[in-house]
Amino acid sequence: MNCILVVEDERHLAEGLRFNLEAEGYQVHIAETGEAALEVLSAESLAFDVVLLDVMLPGKDGFRVMAELRQAGNFIPTLMLTARGRPEDVLRGFAAGADDYLTKPFELAILIARIQGLLRRREWLRASMNHEAPNHNTADQANHAIPPPEPKGTFTFGEKSVHFDLLELRVRGQKFPLTLMEANVLRYLIQHEGAPVSRKAMLEDVWALHEDTDTRAIDNFIVRLRRYIEDDPTRPRHLLTVRGVGYRFVALPAEAG
């Protein structure tokens, strides 16, 4: 069962949170001061899965608690839940190391969704760390054209192979250096092989940009990548444009004509 530490000195609010979170199936522990929260977190650092942290606390305030926790190397998912909603407060919360920030008054359903989001991210992270080693999926074994024991960080398609760890593309013995970003874009496209990928998704997942940046910036990368991997960059066969969406990577295109 997931356990949540609620750091909140307003007793009514804390009890209301406890009632609802317990109804959702979480275990809840309440700390009324920043000091108490730090103490319980350092004593039983593994007992909690998420922290809900108020800012205006007696003694050490939430920002300080957050910063001290991160300095001590405790990276437990933390949502700051506070009445202070001015932009400078929100920025200060994130700067201190918060994972999420929600202002009071809040909607119960949204609070619960955000807690679930934090827990889910934690699970995904764990899962991806566990699965890193056995990298090869069943498609590799089914497709005998590609030799199964491929070195880690290498992807081969046709007569070309990408060496992600060396930042290198090899085409029939010829070597092309890749920049880190080019390699990341290529890796992302290869991971989504066969499926169209939107420019926005690439910006978010490869560059971690969430603003409305000009998504056309990606096109330059695609032009360069085509020069490397396409026999005829004007008539791409691997890196296809999907009109109105973005791009699609095809490892083994069916022979044209």
In the region spanning residues 185 to 244, those forming contacts with another protein, defined by CB under 8 A, are none
Cβ proximity of 160 and 227 under 8 Å: no
Q: Between the CA of residue 128 and those of 89, 125, 155, what are the distances in Å?
A: 33, 5, 19
Cβ proximity of 193 and 249 under 8 Å: yes
Q: Where does this chain touch another protein (CB under 8 A) — which range of 103-111, 117-125, 133-141, 222-230? A: 103-111
Among 56, 125, 217, 242, binds another protein (CB under 8 A): 56
Task: Please report whether residue 7 would count as binding another protein according to CB under 8 A.
Answer: no
Taking the least distance from each CB to another protein, the nearer of 84 and 226 is 84
Cβ proximity of 51 and 41 under 8 Å: yes
Taking the least distance from each CB to another protein, the nearer of 8 and 99 is 8
Task: Please report whether residue 91 would count as binding another protein according to CB under 8 A.
Answer: no
CA angle 179, 202, 92 (to 5 degrees): 95
Task: Please report whether residue 13 would count as binding another protein according to CB under 8 A.
Answer: yes
**What is the dihedral angle through the alpha carbons of 127, 182, 239, 165, rounded to the nearest 10 degrees?**
-50
Task: Please report whether residue 61 would count as binding another protein according to CB under 8 A.
Answer: yes
Residues that bind another protein (CB under 8 A): 10, 12-13, 15-17, 19-20, 23, 56-59, 61, 63, 83-85, 103-109
